[in-house]
Structures are given as structure tokens and as C-alpha cells.
A and B are shown apart, each in its own frame.
Chain A
Amino acid sequence: MAQSPSSPAADESQGPSGAAPARDPLSLPGLAHKRASDIPYAVAFLALLVFPFVTTGYPLTVLTEILVFGLFAMSLDVILGYTGLPSFGHAAFFGLGAYGTAVLSAKLGISNLGISLLAIVGLTVVAAAVLGWLAIRTAGVYFLMLTLAFSQMIFAAAQKWTPLTGGSNGLPGVRRPTLFVPGLVAADPRAFYLLVLAVFASSFFLLHRLVTSPFGRSLIGIRENEVRMRAMGYNVKAYKLTAFVIGGAFGGIAGLLYAYFNNFVSPSDVYWTASGTVLLMVLIGGAGTLVGPVLGAAFFLLLQNALSSLTERWPIILGAVFVIFIMFVRNGLVGIWTQVSARRG
């Protein structure tokens, strides 16, 4: 005990309980971290809130899309980045959310946000529970293939079940949602943007609570060493399944927003390329963080928009950028930030 660098007595100066360590054992490998302040989140939220009153039109449309895909990417990251399950079929839940919302609105005339939210969360929770129950029995590439196969089943249904889904033509005529009070419609782009922001911000808050909770820490432990977690008494399967269901439900909510945003859904929203796109967003932004996937979604969509206005061959350039990112930028955009601030600090 004599050689211990800081005895409990010396530690009392750190705080009344002395409990929390000075730095956060952050999930990013090799990087211990100061406790993150909430101020940047508040600033970002205020900026997003003010944005539609500064400018509307195309920039607002792009920002709306970024928030929708940011939520989609965050929901995947709960499964992929935090729990370490390589899901390659996350578009299944996005598609279920989008098609469910579209069918409710275009076929049944129900565009009430409260009803759609309940229906979509219910639908995706059941779907994710069934798929998850099967998929968590496998690992690695088998998990990947199983989730891919499931999403391709949803894609096939969207493609073939023409009376319900409109088949390969997609399903048009999705109306902007009425809010919980009948008569209040988020019709114009600004109102709709604010609705998307509200859903995005509350989802971010909930997911942030989740990943900083003991449960979220357990997910990171499972990602890092599943065998050890089991030996510590953790019911690893239950944790994995819960994470998968939570990710699926938030993926469904993103799909719901997307259907309202586009007023249209098509089978390509459920195709495996959509699962690949959201996977790229997570990896580019930084897996195992919540901010990373949102940054990744922003980076992806902005780059795609910029390049496609310059050249018809934009997919080649986009592909090259992603190859460079995956190969040379460890931990994505968030990783760059933490490395720069660590060097400065």
C-alpha cells in the first residue's frame, strides 16, 4: 500500500464521494477522456433550432435529410459500434418503418404522428425481436449474412406485394403528418424540419442516456470480451437481444420520418445498398459513439450532393473517398477530433 500513488485519503480531495474517476473510460480504444460536457450538445441543438429561421429552401431540405439519416446511423451504431454485432441488414427496420408509415398514410389515410409512431415502434420491435432471437445465436460473418438475408426478405416483399406496397414503382402519396392534436399539420418545410429535429433530439437524448448507463457499459463490455462478461455473470444473449431491438426500433422511427420527408417510398429504401450506406455513415463518422454516426451521415450526404452536381461519375470519387477513410482514418471523424485534441492537450 505504501507505494500506491494515491491513497484513498488523497483521493477525497477530488470530490465528496471520491467515486467517479477523474477521466471517463471512453469506449474509443486507447483514449482515456475527460468527462464530456453537455454544453456542445446544447450549442448544437440551438444552432439546429435557429437554422430554419435563417435559411430555408434547399439547405433546409438537406439538413432535414441529414437528421433523418443521422438517426438511422445512430440506431445502427447501438448494435454495431456499442454491442459489436456486425449487422448488414439494418435497412430492414428503416424499410419497415418507411413502408409501414406509407401504407398507413397512402392506403389507410392515417397520417397522425402518434398513431404512426406507435404502429412503427410496435412493428419494428416485433421484427427485431424475431430476427434478433435467431441472429444472436450466431456470430461474425454468419450474423452478417442472417441480417442481410432478413433485409432482403423485406425487400422482396416490398418489390412483390404490389397491392400493398406498389411493387417496384414504390408507394407515392404519403402525406405530411398531423401532430398529436388533429388539425395541426407539419406541412411546410420549416414545420416539418422542426418536427424531425424534435424526434431526432429526443432520440439522441434517450440513446445518450442508454449508452452512458450501466446497461450501455455492459454492451461495450460484451463488444470487448464476451467470454469474460459471461464469466462475470452477465446474461450476454439477453443484452445483445435488447440492444438489437432498441436499434431496430429507432431504425424504424428513422424510416417513418423518411417516408414523411420524401412523401414516397420505394424498394430501394430497403435494398441491401441502403444497409451498406448506413454502415458507411457509421464507420466514416466513428463507430462506438453517438455523435460519430450523425457526422458520418452529414459527411456522406453533403459529399454525395456536392459531387453529383459536379460530375456524373461521382460514385467513383465517393467510393475512393470511402476506401481512404476506412483504411487510413481509425475511428472515423470522431477519431480525428480526439487525436487532434489529445495532441493539443
Chain B
Amino acid sequence: MAEILRLEQLAKHFSSLQVLKGINLSVEAGERRASGRVLVEGRDVTGKPPNQMWAAGLSRTFQKNNLFFQLTTYENVRLAMQAHRGYAHRWFRSWRSLHGVNDQTRDILVRLELWGRRDDVVKNLSYGEQRQLEVAIALAANPKLLLLDEPTAGMSPAETARTIEMLAALPKELTVLIIEHDMDAVFSLADRIAVLNYGEVLADGTPDDVKRDPKVQEVYLGV
């Protein structure tokens, strides 16, 4: 499979705090990846503004929900969809007449089990539903690579389980890079895992390899 993402000697500082120390990582298309928290900041190093990353087929969710809280669930996804399909600047026709945009918006909402909430203002959604909506918006760009920044952060165990189920059901051809602390989520979703600790790759391999790695067991799995 083709390589879809490569990080070369990636380093990142926040003032004196070095959060990444020369990370090398490569992701193949269609692969499910997970890595430690520190890589969150790594994606900025590409130096491209977010709208260009979005255009390049790289879509992300935010660690903290970043939604249109006063608009409906439907409108949140529809805004992303009309941008992706290049209709956002049309000014002399009704948004209702864009059937392609509206159909695909519905498809995504149905797939992520949010269609029943389509007319609800987002601030009235549960936290878990808002996290799902983050994924729905990210999917509206029809990305090649989806970055999920702590998709289960702040969720109840039930919500976490549902989210894992939902993420597992995403199309297999979509490459997903998950940054996640929840080890259960990581191990049930990932094809490959890279563990980062203090800015360095501690281990990189299949879930089984990583689970057996003594350094990982010491740092993350608490064995």
C-alpha cells in the first residue's frame, strides 16, 4: 500500500519545553494508526494553514469540541459539505436546491447516528453526540486521511464504547490516525500503534508487538 503520511525528524518546542524530539513515522494508506498524546502538536509542523490541509484530503477533529454550537446538527455538517463540494460562494440560489450537498449531509448524519438530532441546536446535544458530530464534519470533506484528536476524551464508558463501535465501522479505505490516551480504545481500533513518551517514539508496531514491549508496559500499561 502507498504511504499516505510521513513524518521526518519532526521536532516541536513550546518555549523551552520540547514536546517532539525527532519523530520518524510513516503511515500507509488504509492503515489505522494510534499514537501517544504528543503527536497532537506534530501535525502543525507541516506549516500549512488548515484550509490547505483540508483541501489536501487531510481532515481532523479537535481535542476540544469546536462546533457551531448555536446552529443545528444538520447545518454543522452541511456547511462543511458545501465547502468541500465547492458551492459555498454561490449567492443567488437557495441552499435547499443543492441536492448533492443535502443528500450527502443526510448520508453522513445517518451513518453517524445523528439524523434524529438533525434539527437540534448543537449546544443541546450530549457531549458524546457532539464528539460524533466532530467526526461527521471531518468526514464531510471526504478525506483520505482522518486525524482524530482524542475522540473519546471526557466520555462516559458507555459513550466510549459507542464511539469505538462507530469508528470501527468507518470505511476501510479511509486512513485514520488516532491520538488517544484510552488504551482500550487504542487497542480495539488500531492496526498499528506508535507509542510516544516525552517526545520520543517508545515503540512502533502491531498491537500485539506493542503490548509485549517491556518499555510500553512500564510507561503506559502500568504492568
Contacts and interface: CB of A to CB of B under 8 A. Distances in A.
A230 B51 CA distance: 6
Interface string A211-253: 0111111101100110111111111000100000000000000
A213 B93 contact: yes
Interface residues of B, number: 51
B88 A4 contact: no
B115 A4 contact: yes
B213 to A, nearest CB: 35
A232 B118 CA distance: 20
Interface in B86-129: 87-96, 98-99, 101-103, 106-107, 110-111, 113, 115-116, 118-121, 123-124
B120 A7 contact: no
B70 A213 contact: no
B125 to A, nearest CB: 13
A232 B87 CA distance: 13
A217 B78 contact: yes
A25 interface: yes
B217 interface: no
A217 B119 contact: no
Interface stretch (B4-12, B61-69, B174-182, B191-199): B61-69
A234 B86 CA distance: 10
B83 interface: yes
A272 B90 CA distance: 34
A231 B48 CA distance: 11
Given A3-B113, A8-B110, A216-B91, A25 B75 contact: yes
A35 B119 CA distance: 12
A214 B80 CA distance: 11
B91 A11 contact: no
Contacts of A27: 71
A209 B51 contact: no
Contact of A6 (B79, B88, B116): B116
Contact of A214 (B68, B70, B90, B119): B90
A29 interface: yes
A186 B189 CA distance: 74
B200 to A, nearest CB: 29
Given A17-B103, A213-B93, A214-B87, A32 B120 contact: yes
Given A23-B119, A214-B82, A234 B103 contact: no
Contact of A215 (B55, B89, B107): B89
Nearest to B111: A1
B55 A233 contact: yes
Interface string A120-132: 0000000000000
Contacts of A1: 110-111, 113
14 contacts: A3-B113, A4-B115, A4-B116, A6-B115, A8-B106, A8-B110, A25-B78, A30-B121, A209-B91, A209-B92, A213-B94, A220-B71, A221-B75, A228-B66
Interface of B: 49-51, 54-55, 60, 66-72, 74-75, 78-80, 82-84, 87-96, 98-99, 101-103, 106-107, 110-111, 113, 115-116, 118-121, 123-124, 137, 141
